[in-house]
Amino acid sequence: MATLESFSCPLPKLYYDTVQLAHGSGGKLSAELIEAIFLPCFGNDTLNQLEDQATFAVPKGRMAFSTDTFVVNPIFFSGGNIGDLAVNGTVNDVAMSGATPKFLSIGFVLEEGLPIEELRQIVESIRYSAQQAGVNIVTGDTKVVEKGSCDKVFINTSGIGFIPPEINFGIAQIRPGDKIILSGSIADHGMAILTKRKGLSFQSGIKSDTAALNGLIATMMESEGTIHALRDPTRGGVATTLNEFAGQSGLGIRLQQETIPVNDAVRGACEILGIDPLYVANEGKLIAAVSEEHAELVLEAMRKHPLGTQAAIIGEVTNDHPKKVVMENAYGTERIIDMPIGEQLPRIC
């Protein structure tokens, strides 16, 4: 696998070391930013047209389209930064429909005074993660706001992918008896952000799981097991995603607590900080509802993929307790896993 360094893009010296309001003016300094940073890093035939919109050929069929704005604080954290997060987050939202993600837009909001070097690092991560995910950045926009009017940098990505004809994933497809498969350990991303904020990153060894999941999903689809729904448990964590499954399908979900993988360092940090890992964000994990008879088939395929080695069946869909998620622990005690009301960890993505 190529490393970030091998994709490093050249950076001609810019006139300013920090982002100026005029970098967002649409004038000469905007052009300098585009020519010196964005085009060398992202350049492709479509983007290079420098039109106000990308145009490209599309096949007849069904398309997936998703958007997300990333406001994570801090912008650099253990395992990634706001740039790869912005690519992976939208690639994953597109891919959860069964679509093959193809095209991304990027919209930057930059705070006046942001060091160009930090912008360069973010852009390089965007380039690298887009390359890894097999998507092209085909259109973009940059706005600059006065110092104090935003927090360093916000990034919106919108993504487009094409859905193979036979695929129809969605919460409406979930059936009683379906197995719930989780692709790996939970809460890594949220706890990486939180420990960084608290200055504990080095000691903790906790790293964000930020990753593009389209490769893992392709592997799952190749297994030919019947997948009913896929979703990535980001904000609000596994608890929120499973409550969406239950609430929108009208069915119940029963979890086995001891089957849910949590890395030791994350479990320890959650205990110390009094945080339930079920509610903490992930950025490189997925939850699948898979037909009972194909669950082992899909699970086996997932475990052979680098992003699915810890995949596990963590529960099943049931007609009991409609719209509720219930978790049973190792002692047979049950508790309801509700939607979160408040905000446990703001700005984790």
Site for a second copy in 86-105 (CB under 8 A): 93-94, 96-97, 99, 103, 105
**Min separation Cβ 230 and a second copy, Å:** 9
**Min separation Cβ 345 and a second copy, Å:** 9
Q: Which residues contact 19 (CB under 8 A, 6 or more apart)?
A: 110, 111, 112, 113, 114, 115, 116, 119, 144
Which DSSP category does 107 fall into? Answer: E
Q: Which residues contact 330 (CB under 8 A, 6 or more apart)?
A: 257, 258
Interacting span for a second copy (CB under 8 A) from 123-131, 179-187, 208-216, 226-234: 226-234
Interaction between residue 62 and a second copy (CB under 8 A): yes
Please, which residue, 107 or 261, has the CB nearer to a second copy?
107
**Min separation Cβ 94 and a second copy, Å:** 6
Give the C-alpha separation, 154 to 139, whole Å.
17
Give the C-alpha separation, 230 to 95, whole Å.
9
Site for a second copy in 302-341 (CB under 8 A): 339-341
**Min separation Cβ 3 and a second copy, Å:** 29
Q: Are 72 and 125 in contact (CB under 8 A)?
A: no
Site for a second copy in 21-40 (CB under 8 A): 21-22, 24-31
CA distances from 317 to 46, 56, 240 (A): 44, 41, 15
Site for a second copy in 265-294 (CB under 8 A): none
Contacting residue, 184, 190, 225, 236, with a second copy by CB under 8 A: 236
Cα–Cα nearest to 249, from 167, 326, 175: 175
Interaction between residue 183 and a second copy (CB under 8 A): no
Four-residue CA torsion sign, 74, 122, 111, 105: negative
Interaction between residue 193 and a second copy (CB under 8 A): no
Interaction between residue 121 and a second copy (CB under 8 A): no
Please, which residue, 93 or 188, has the CB nearer to a second copy?
93
**Min separation Cβ 320 and a second copy, Å:** 23
Interaction between residue 122 and a second copy (CB under 8 A): no
Give the C-alpha separation, 158 to 208, whole Å.
22
Please, which residue, 63 or 265, has the CB nearer to a second copy?
63
Please, which residue, 204 or 279, has the CB nearer to a second copy?
279
Q: Is 139 exposed, middle or buried (0-12, 13-18, 19+ CB in 10 A)?
A: buried
**Min separation Cβ 136 and a second copy, Å:** 11
